[in-house]
Structure 1
Amino acid sequence: MVLVVSEEVRDAVDARRPVVALESTIIAHGLPRPRNLQVALELEETVRRAGAVPATIALLDGRPHVGLDEEQLERVANEEGIRKLGHRDLPLAVASGASGATTVSATALLASLAGVRVFATGGLGGVHREWTVTQDESADLGLLARTRVTVVCAGVKSILDVPATLQRLETLGIAVAGYRSERFPGFYLSDSGHPVDWSLGSPEEVADVMRAQDALGGPESALIVANPVPEQEQLDPELHARVLAEALHACEEWEITGQAVTPFLLDYLVRHTDGASLAANLAAVRGNVRLAAGIAAAWTGA
């Protein structure tokens, strides 16, 4: 089999001990060096302190790895030419011997193949603004509609079309619940301005839903646990609204379109909030990783 599961992760899955999958795109493409490696090691240590096993996922030399050692983490953080891989890219990357960091869709797929049920990330991809013109929708949504994994996230990035994304999640049959909140978070913000239909109050309640998914059968779809960044750590909402409006105007003025839009907007937010958006991003990721470890423990009975 092409998939390489580390001995630590394999032993934990076989013994039904808690495991948390972590994506690698934040390491290779989301943070500057050397901060990226520091954060990668910090997130893995956060999982361990909570009593779970971290399973950071990436492709190295054409082999998908579930669970990286420190040397492999350093490669992802520092090696030039590390690609950004969605699930559609995996066969091409494997066949060509490429190395790459996994997005939400690729991480969820590989985690599921390795028997890892719980996955922590920052924010989901979703439906992009002006979808009726661009037809631009993240591959995350379609993959999660057919992959039985529990994704702990801080909602979707506020640069996206949040209500359209929520509607699309409903259409695809992907269960969404707020964690101790009846509002859908907006990644940098605790509240995107939109409600959720369901709220769960503890890791044990999340695990109960996961068991109910399995008992009911049906489509192998995901469970989204939308965990808001704490209000005291969110990006100031007024600053967010002002800078995002400026960024969208700059996109239009400079005729930035297609796949270039998202990285442009994210970079604009970091630069024009003096790094406050990055701080909120990291606060959200840390909180999601801690919660995911608790859910994994509740799910396995640890």
Structure 2
Amino acid sequence: MNLHDYLSVAPEIAEALAAGKPVVALESTILSHGMPYPENVEFAHKVEKIVREEGAIPATTAIIGGKLKVGLNDEELLTMCKAENVGKVSRRDVAVYLATGQTGATTVATTMIIASLAGIRFFATGGIGGVHRGAEKTMDISADLQELANTPVCVVCAGAKSILDLGLTLEYLETYGVPVLGLRTDELPAFYCRTSGYKLDYNCQDEETVAKIMKTKWDVGLKGGAVVGNPILEQYAMDPDYMNKIIDQAVAQANAEHIHGKAITPFLLAHIKDMTGGSSFAANLELAYNNARACSKIACAYAKL
């Protein structure tokens, strides 16, 4: 057996890639583990619609029936949104899910893997994983960061999830040579918040500049991807001081309940949603839409180079 036995690319996406048209990868963890049904179906359709409106082809990823899926039909999308036995799959889990035929939602790391295998260079998500608070004791560091160091996919996001240690996440990315580019910002966005206090070395004023940087990186043979920090739009942003207090309370609750591993991020996001009366959830949707828009523009600019 070879890769083609495992990789299932939707015809529309295969045709677009063969013709050199822009394609944007999308994850499925946010659908299976980030929001309830039927809001997740509405969200998925809206994100794909935004990508198309900007001139690119959306490619939502998942692991279904022993296949790495690139582009989901309506039935497959419904499976990811409704089924209760959908696992959260990172790099270490991919072979297990393929071999056993389990249904898996793709994290940032797994989406990057699948995108790269299919020949997709750009991926829009809410926020990347990173170094968790207290990682100097727990060693809880997302596999997303190693994927960014090794897999040639540009990830457009609202920074790292603000439940993380953003300073250590930046240090880790620097150590492994991952460029972190601000899109019209000189600070790392903090997911729900436009600013984090952590300065970035590069502030790209337009999507075309990001596309040129990525083309140059890959042309000269530098491996790995990049993080593009795209701040949530001003009208949907949340106050940093308020959010930091909420996050501290959520982290303390997780520690008290001994929540760790794969369960920690969904637990914290759900806790924050409750504590903010749902406003963090609304912000999460808007930042994801904004990232899909920006990523599509970058992918379109890249296709013209």
Q: TM-score, normalised by structure 1?
A: 0.96
**Does the C-alpha gap of structure 1 residues 214 and 241 become closer, same or farther in structure 2, counting only changes over 3 Å?**
closer
Match of 2:240 in 1: 237
Counterparts of 2:248 and 2:101, CA distance in 1? 41
CA shift at 1:255, angstroms?
Answer: 4.2
After superposition, give the CA deviation of every residue in 1:85-140 in whole Å (9 maximum; x if it has no partner): 11221111111011111000000010011001110000000001111110110000
What is residue 136 of structure 1 aligned with on the other side? Answer: 140
**Residue 178 of structure 2 is aligned to residue 174 of structure 1:** yes
Partners of 1:20 and 1:176 in 2: how far apart?
A: 19
Asked if 2 retains the 8 angstrom alpha-carbon contact of 1:134 and 1:258, the reply is no
Structure 1 CA distance for aligned equivalents of residues 257 and 144 of structure 2: 28
State the distance in 2 between where 1:30 and 1:43 align: 15
Residues 150 and 223 in structure 1, CA contact (< 8 A), matched pair in contact too: yes
Identical aligned residues as a percent: 44
CA separation in 2, counterparts of 1:106 and 1:131? 22
Q: 1:271 aligns with which of 270, 274, 282?
A: 274
Task: Say if 2:67 is the partner of 1:85.
Answer: no
Contact 1:145-1:173 within 8 A present in 2 as well: yes
- 2:104 is matched with 100
1:204 aligns with 2:208: yes
- Structure 1, unmatched stretches of 5+, are none
Cα distance in 2 for partners of 1:33, 1:280 equals 18
Q: Does 1:215 align with 2:216?
A: no
Q: Deviations over 1:144-201 (max 9, x none)?
A: 1111111100001111110000000000111111000001000111011111000111
Count of residue pairs the alignment pairs up: 301
Distance 1:251 1:63 in 2: 34
What SS does structure 2 have at the residue aligned with 1:64? Answer: strand
The equivalent residue for 1:15 is 19
Of 100-109 and 232-241, more deviation after overlay is shown by 232-241
Mapped contact 2:26–2:58 kept (Cα < 8 A):
yes
The CA deviation string for residues 262-302 of structure 1, in whole angstroms up to 9 with x for no partner, is 33221111001001111111111000000111011101119
What SS class does the counterpart of residue 33 from structure 1 fall into?
coil
Instruction: Output one character per residue of 1:193-244: Cα deviation in whole Å (capped at 9) or x when no partner.
Output: 11100011111111110111122213x1111111010222112333312212
Q: Decide whether aligned partners of structure 1 residues 132 and 243 sit closer, same or farther in structure 2, where only a CA change above 3 A counts.
A: same
> What residue is the counterpart of 2:131 in the other structure?
127
**1:51 alignment partner, SS class:** coil
CA distance in 1, matches of 2:120, 2:149: 17
Corresponding position of 1:72: 76
- Opposite residue 234 of structure 1, the aligned amino acid is A
Cα RMSD for the two superposed structures: 1.3
1:16-53 Cα deviation digits (max 9, x unpaired)? 01110000111111011110011001111111111111
Q: Which residue of 2 aligns with 1:186?
A: 190
Change (3 A) 1:105 1:252: closer
Q: Which consecutive aligned stretches of 4+ in structure 1 deviate over 6 angstroms post-superposition?
A: none
**Equivalent pair of 2:88/2:262 in contact (CA under 8 Å):** no
